[in-house]
Structure 1
Amino acid sequence: MGGTKLAAAVVEPDGTIATRAVVPTPVSPDAQTVAAALDGLVREVAERGPSRRLVGLGVGSAGPLDPLAGTVSPVNITAWRDFGILDALRDVLPGRPAVLAGDGHCMALGEHWRGGYGDRSVLGIVVSTGVGGGLVIGGRVHSGGTGNAGHIGHIVVDLGGPDCACGGRGCVEALSSGPAIARWAVEQGWSPGDRPADARALADAARAGDPVARRAFDRAALALAAGIVSAAALIDLDDVVIGGGVSGAGDVLFDPLRAAVAELAGLPFVTRVRIHPSTLGGDAGLLGAAALAMEAARA
């Protein structure tokens, strides 16, 4: 569940996605409007699958969240504040476990499971409407004391930077999310013509050589690199896997990102971190959420 879209799938034990569906996240101040869209989506997918074989429900959401209470307060879904998402969905699969984790955790776990990272320490980053993250260390999600560890989008990388929706200032998300990148470019004089002024149009402009669009992605990559280098120094990471809609910009993002990481990193154990685009795309979060549900069912 994110600020742009809601996705659901039935996942087999080997990681095969049997059926899936996606809908836009409703833009509404009413919590139940957003919840109704999610409930309808999940029920539609569950009914397409063999419901008697479904062992549990895994939910990945933008944060912050409280996995024990089953509540979410996504920065980019303003209708939900301490919203009881697990309680709202339990009736879909009554009597079976329902677990909640951050969308970044689910993305990281999905990439780790299907990407062959073995015992390597992985930071997954989702760059989209916001910037989320999650950690897999020793083959297991590292969720921290409140379930919000790995939230790289809210590492401060610019002390004089723009305000962030989280209430902080100068966060990675405030400089590197899709809306932030496009907003800065428009402020610098970029125009998308007859297209929406979003990160996708900006990436196309950057690939075509537009200087403002290129500077916008360079600026975003530098902020993201600062967060990655800080995380690598703190956690001793092996790999960083980047997904989300903005990662679709490809080399326009990844070339300046790798260059900025190389420039900012100093210590040998920090410079060894490897940056990868997601190999699973939007499936990574679904697979990670399913892996958590399967684990809960086995417990």
Structure 2
Amino acid sequence: MTEPLLETDIALAVDIGGTKVEAALVTANGQLVAGSRHRAPTGRERSAEELDASVRTVVESALAGVQPHQRLLGAGVGSAGPVFSPDGEISPLNLPQWRRHRIAERVTALTGLPTVVRLDGQCLALAEAWVGNLVGTRNAMALVVSTGVGSGLIVDGRLLSGGTGNAGHLGQMLIREVAAGQDPDEASVERISSGTGSVAWARANGWEGTTGEELVADALRGHPTADAAIQRSVNGLAEAIASVGALVDIEAVSIAGGFALGYPRYIEEVAAALARYSVLEHTTRITVHRSSLGGDAPLIGAGGLVWRA
């Protein structure tokens, strides 16, 4: 923004994921407006028209909270990827009904606001660098380890977006050799470190649970396969962070997500594994933090796109 910001300035934030879409109002100092947050379902079972209806529901509900003294300046959308930011389009892998979906155009049609679209992991990084525990770091990465693995990068003090808007995405980085005939995704960070991937690996090795929460609980009780699945997640993530550190020279990492933060020692164990896997001295200095913003970060970051992207 080029004009001076006022304390009453707000932005509309929309966060699109594989199971839900949320919208809220975000202040110019990075706070969610109380009572403005609304959620509606997404999911593979819903049609493209039903997904659009969910977006409309949360956007209209959030905008109903705008007060007469507030100035609404724009809208920011964070989405599961891939995205096509220059065109305002998204093609979330977990929402196959939407391919090159013109989400910016639709949000603008609903609101009359200029709309910026970025990868959800980039919104996470923007939020952490703006008002979270990455404040003051010029080179950092924010991660969410939950159903999947998402991420974003801050490089030289700026959010790294890339040519299509998909820069900084860690989930599909390959950290294992891909054997002949193997699906490359089997070697990805997401398949190895996410809650979904960890549960699938544990079940393939004899564990009988079904959820990430059960896996964490069994690991804490000393179940060997559950514990091995958690350690596989920790080690895979640490390998990926070491690789990113070697490439981009980051100073710090912030980790969010229910799967990672559900395991009390996850952050400390990632930091210890990072020291083991670091080939270069400067990657051993990367600090690993627990997210200070939790589930608010994607919406805060999406709102921040209006002012800081």
Partner of 2:7: none
* 2:164 matches 1:146: yes
Aligned residues: percent identity? 38
The answer (yes or no) to whether the contact 1:59–1:289 under 8 Å persists in 2 is yes
Aligned pairs for 1:106-145 (under 5 A) are 106-115=123-132, 117-145=135-163
Partner of 1:171: 188
The answer (yes or no) to whether the contact 1:247–1:277 under 8 Å persists in 2 is no
Aligned pairs for 1:1-299 (under 5 A) are 1-18=16-33, 19-28=36-45, 30-50=47-67, 53-94=71-112, 96-115=113-132, 117-160=135-178, 168-192=185-209, 197-295=210-308
Q: TM-score, normalised by structure 2?
A: 0.87
Shift of 1:3: 1.5
User: Equivalents in 2 of 1:35, 1:207: separation in Å?
Assistant: 41
User: Equivalents in 2 of 1:204, 1:48: separation in Å?
Assistant: 40
Structure 1 residue identity aligned to 2:117: L
Shift of 1:217: 0.7
Shift in alpha-carbon separation, 1:163–1:15, aligned structure 2, 3 A: farther
Structure 2 residue identity aligned to 1:113: W
The answer (yes or no) to whether the contact 1:26–1:33 under 8 Å persists in 2 is no
Q: TM-score, normalised by structure 1?
A: 0.90
Structure 2 residue identity aligned to 1:264: Y
In terms of mean alpha carbon deviation, does 272-281 or 111-120 score higher?
A: 111-120
Give 3-state SS (helix, strand or coil) of 1:63's partner.
coil
Give 3-state SS (helix, strand or coil) of 1:10's partner.
strand
User: Equivalents in 2 of 1:168, 1:85: separation in Å?
Assistant: 27
Shift of 1:14: 1.7
Q: What is the aligned residue count?
A: 289
User: Equivalents in 1 of 2:52, 2:138: separation in Å?
Assistant: 36
User: Equivalents in 1 of 2:190, 2:102: separation in Å?
Assistant: 25
Structure 2 residue identity aligned to 1:75: L
User: Equivalents in 1 of 2:39, 2:157: separation in Å?
Assistant: 29
User: Equivalents in 1 of 2:61, 2:250: separation in Å?
Assistant: 39
Q: CA RMSD in A?
A: 2.0
The answer (yes or no) to whether the contact 2:185–2:191 under 8 Å persists in 1 is no
Superposed CA deviations along residues 90-110 of structure 1, whole A, max 9, x for unmatched, are 12320x210001100000010
The answer (yes or no) to whether the contact 1:3–1:129 under 8 Å persists in 2 is no
Shift in alpha-carbon separation, 1:5–1:29, aligned structure 2, 3 A: closer
Shift of 1:163: 6.2
Structure 2 residue identity aligned to 1:46: L
In terms of mean alpha carbon deviation, does 248-257 or 258-267 score higher?
A: 248-257
Instruction: Show structure 2 runs of 5+ residues with no match.
Output: 1-15
Superposed CA deviations along residues 86-142 of structure 1, whole A, max 9, x for unmatched, are 112112320x21000110000001011112521421111122222111111233211
User: Equivalents in 1 of 2:188, 2:308: separation in Å?
Assistant: 33
Superposed CA deviations along residues 1-55 of structure 1, whole A, max 9, x for unmatched, are 1123322211111222112123343332522222211221121111123376221
Superposed CA deviations along residues 263-284 of structure 1, whole A, max 9, x for unmatched, are 1002111111111111101111
Give 3-state SS (helix, strand or coil) of 2:37's partner.
strand
Shift of 1:191: 2.1
Structure 2 residue identity aligned to 1:181: S
Shift of 1:252: 4.4
The answer (yes or no) to whether the contact 2:193–2:233 under 8 Å persists in 1 is yes
Give 3-state SS (helix, strand or coil) of 2:283's partner.
helix
